Chains A and B, each alone.
Chain A
């Protein structure tokens, strides 16, 4: 019983660490894009004002990557811990 509790909590600790990292990435990306938009506006890349590009496209792609990374890592974590049980 205690053995299972410890294994579950190892799983949960790793899941929680992943969640924390991705949340931090999400927060920093969102905040920086918006807060420093005026400064980024002066940078032009391939004809795009960087602030507009980030807010209209870049940040959305980052979000998709965050959710994708979570699904992928958690799937691997599930497999690693699921195998122990069987």
Chain B
């Protein structure tokens, strides 16, 4: 059979590819052993992987519509599962989740649960019906299902708007991740890194559309998995003498918990925390004394500077004081802002460590309950967001049939699960390493990686270890680490050869690039297929449609690269916003499409608009960077979980408006019957 031969050929190609990659790793390891410089190892990994992806893109070039939009609908379930997993595993999954588990303990698990549980909804309510419908994009499906007097134009436009907003937010976060990784590992400038990554994305999706992206993503998944498993397995053998980290890290949790109890009562640790609390109190007093304290503070520094200049003080001191003066707040209002955030930072560091495995730690029952509710809310938003992210859903158009789509969702979740059950193992084992090796060591013998990672970004250091109580010994409270560095620095923390660092960087890059590939394609296809072909020029030739799509892809990619180079926010909060918006706007219409026959056009429009507006309103009302305030929270739910209010609002709007207006016409009813048939 033709399908079987194709499947066997794919297995052979990817088997050889995996073998080749492992040999490549071995070769680089030997080069390192022979004294190959570290920077060059970074370059080798960066360029080799980018050339591989671009090569696959060139080999799969196409200008056929079905090939370009849905990879010819002949991707076997297991390979589509692998590609979707790579599409799914973003820079946030690969880099930030382990870091947040490391820093916040149990609370970080919300991301793992939400991002995997959402696939149950995809499997049960959306993917099989999409494949049965069998067109090209998500707005296609919604427009056909909720088509009415205007042929579904309004629904299509609303769905395109939601798709573009959500995917664009998400793609900016991915490209930001690409810039972060390339600049860290090669020393290239952040924006140069971004445009290098963009070039590789473009070669791939520009030439071959979905077809090239699919085969590249399978290759990227293999690299992601090898890159994540290698250092964790190594750590596991080192600390637990067991090559299966997923099973071995349980007992390490217990040992970490014992050490954490020790840190809470340790006199040196308490001394450091008391110093931070004192600093916070001093700042509090200065804030209360505004604006007088601002003037006296500035006068004091000025006097110091004068005195230093008059006396024969060393130049270094003069410069230091002059820098202090120029960094001093410009007016009382700025002083209030700067000092408040500094006070909060100090207060946070005055807290004893968060126990790794304890769920919802809080001082009181209420505080703990609020944490639990927020955990539930975040899981809810991430799950429904997962089930409504267009770039994931379009992948289920690419299989040969409905049964293949069902098995493909299973494979997707399986491949994602392989990585996700390893992420907590990494966080726990790295923590164990830091507790046992770094804490309690002497400041004169800090490992090299500390100064290396501290020096990357002087303005916002990724790690800072300062001898706060001046005893010459590292206390846990004196270490402050950034979420995004834990995974990337793992090989160095564990003392592994630099080739593993390069491998981790290649894995992170693959995760970010594969997601960005899928997202950019989704945005440009929504614009070219749904806006241009379906609305503006329905008579366009196949050639013209694909060309327009490629041009739009280029424009969207450059715009996203530009926005990412402005360095907005941190990765996790950007992605969180995208999930809540996707869930609120698209989930009700997508899920009820096949499940509830009575849902009609008016209801769908009300649902999309209502959900989106509710979610956006709550974010603007409560998110500090959007001008909201934390006092405006409802039930103490954080702004990242805005979909907790957005989805019910969208659902209610869809149901109420559908019931108030006439039932859908015969064509929509016939479509639902068709979707539900075997």
Query: A: which residues have CB within 8 A of B?
Result: 5, 8, 11-12, 15, 19, 22-23, 26, 30-31, 33-35, 37-38, 41, 44, 46-49, 51-53, 55-57, 59-61, 63-64, 66-68, 70-71, 74-75, 77-78, 81-82
13 more A-B contacts (CB under 8 A) besides A23-B120, A74-B406? A8-B678, A12-B676, A19-B124, A44-B254, A52-B357, A52-B359, A57-B424, A67-B413, A68-B414, A70-B123, A71-B123, A71-B403, A75-B403
For residue B241, give the distance in angstroms from its CB to the closest CB of chain A: 14
Give, as a whole number of angstroms, the nearest-CB distance from B392 to chain A: 14
Q: Is the CB of B124 within 8 A of A60?
A: no
Q: Please measure, in the bound complex, the distance between the C-alpha atom of A48 and the C-alpha atom of B120, giving whole angstroms.
A: 26
- Type the 1/0 row for B105-126, where 1 means its CB is closer than 8 Å to any CB of A: 0100100110011011101110
Q: List chain A residues, Cβ under 8 A from B360.
A: 37-38
B503 at the interface (CB under 8 A from A): no
The listed residue with most B CB atoms (<10 A of its CB), out of A5, A74, A75, is A74
In the complex, the answer to whether B420 meets A60 with C-beta atoms within 8 Å is: yes
**24 contacting pairs across A/B (C-beta < 8 A):** A8-B676, A8-B678, A26-B124, A30-B113, A30-B117, A37-B360, A38-B359, A48-B253, A52-B106, A52-B109, A52-B253, A52-B424, A55-B106, A55-B113, A60-B112, A64-B410, A64-B414, A70-B410, A71-B407, A71-B410, A74-B403, A75-B403, A78-B402, A78-B403
Interchain CA distance A74-B403 in the complex, whole Å: 8
Given A26-B120, A48-B250: A34 touches B677 (CB 8 Å cut-off): no
Residues of A within 8 A of B678 (CB): 8, 11, 77-78, 81-82
Q: Does any Cβ of A come within 8 Å of B372's Cβ?
A: yes
In the complex, A67→B112 CA distance in Å? 17
> Which of A31, A49, A56, A63 contacts B413, CB < 8 Å?
A63
Q: Given the complex, which residues of A lie within 8 Å of B410, measured CB to CB?
A: 64, 67-68, 70-71
The reply on B358 being an interface residue by CB < 8 A is yes
Residue of B nearest to A80 (CB): B678
Does A51 contact B414, Cβ atoms closer than 8 Å? no
Smallest Cβ-Cβ distance to A48: which chain B residue = B250
Q: A12-B676, A37-B106, A64-B414 are in contact. Are A59 and B117 (CB under 8 A)?
A: yes
Residue from A11, A47, A81 in contact with B253 in the complex, judged by beta carbons closer than 8 Å: A47
The residue in B106, B375, B424, B673 that gathers the most chain A C-beta atoms within 10 A of its C-beta is: B106
CA of A61 to CA of B402 in the docked complex: distance in angstroms?
A: 24
Min CB distance A40 to B, Å, is 8
Cβ contact within 8 Å between A63 and B359? no
Whether, in the assembled complex, B251 has its beta carbon less than 8 Å from a beta carbon of chain A, the answer is yes
Size band of the interface chain B makes with A: 35 or more
B417 at the interface (CB under 8 A from A): yes
Interface centre among B358, B413, B678 (most CB of A within 10 A): B678
Task: Say whether B379 faces chain A, with CB atoms less than 8 Å apart.
Answer: yes
Chain B residues with CB under 8 Å of chain A are 106, 109, 112-113, 116-117, 119-121, 123-125, 128, 246, 250-251, 253-254, 357-360, 368, 372, 375-376, 379, 383, 402-403, 406-407, 409-410, 413-414, 417, 420-421, 424, 673, 676-678
Given contacts A26-B120, A51-B359, A63-B120, contact A11 B677 (CB under 8 A): yes
Q: State the CA gap A40–B651 with chains docked (Å).
A: 33
The 3 A-B pairs at the shortest CB distance, nearest first, are namely A37-B359, A71-B406, A48-B250
Q: Which residues of A contact B109 (CB under 8 A)?
A: 52, 55-56
Residues of B within 8 A of A26 (CB): 117, 120-121, 124
A residues in contact with B106, CB < 8 Å:
37, 51-52, 55
Query: How long is the Cα–Cα vector from A75 to B407 in the complex, in angstroms?
Result: 9
A14 to chain B, nearest CB (A): 10
**CA distance in complex: A67, B122 (Å):** 9
User: Would A22 and B124 be within 8 Å (CB), given that A56-B109, A60-B112, A64-B417 are in contact?
Assistant: yes
CB-CB under 8 A from B402, the residues of chain A are 78
* Least distance between A62 CB and chain B CB atoms (Å): 9
Q: With the chains together, A2 CA to B414 CA distance in Å?
A: 41
Minimum Cβ distance to chain B for residue A24 (Å)? 11
**Cβ–Cβ < 8 Å partners of B368 in chain A:** 38
Task: Judge whether B117 and A63 touch: CB under 8 Å.
Answer: yes
Chain B residues whose CB sits within 8 angstroms of the CB of A30 once the complex forms = 113, 117, 379, 383
A34 CA to B523 CA in the complex, in Å?
Answer: 35
- The listed residue (A56, A75, A82) touching B421 by CB distance below 8 A is A56
Given A8-B676, A34-B113, A52-B253, A63 contacting B119 (CB threshold 8 A): yes
Contacts of B372 in A (CB 8 A): 34-35, 37-38
Does B409 contact A67, Cβ atoms closer than 8 Å? yes
Given that A34-B113, A38-B360, A47-B254 are known contacts, is A61 also in contact with B409, CB under 8 Å in the complex?
no
A22 CA / B117 CA spacing, docked (Å): 12
- Are B379 and A34 in touch, CB under 8 angstroms? yes
**What is the minimal beta-carbon distance from B619 to any residue of chain A, in angstroms?**
23
**B98 → A minimal CB distance (Å):** 12
Say yes or no: A35-B376 contact (C-beta < 8 A), given A8-B676, A75-B403. Answer: yes
B120 with A67: CB separation less than 8 A: yes
With contacts A8-B677, A22-B124, A34-B375 known, is A63 near B116, CB below 8 A? yes
Chain A residue numbers with a CB within 8 Å of B383 are: 30
CA distance A31 to B409 in the complex (A): 23
Q: Which of B253, B376, B420 touches A34 (beta carbons < 8 Å)? A: B376
Contacts of B407 in A (CB 8 A): 71, 75
The answer to whether A41 and B358 touch (CB under 8 A), given A34-B375, A64-B413, is: yes
Within 8 Å by CB of B357, from A22, A41, A46, lies A41
Highest count of chain B CB atoms <10 Å: which of A23, A51, A60, A75 = A60
B407 nearest in chain A by CB position? A71
Given the known inter-chain contacts A34-B375, A38-B359, A60-B420, please indicate yes or no for A67 contacting B123, CB distance below 8 A: yes
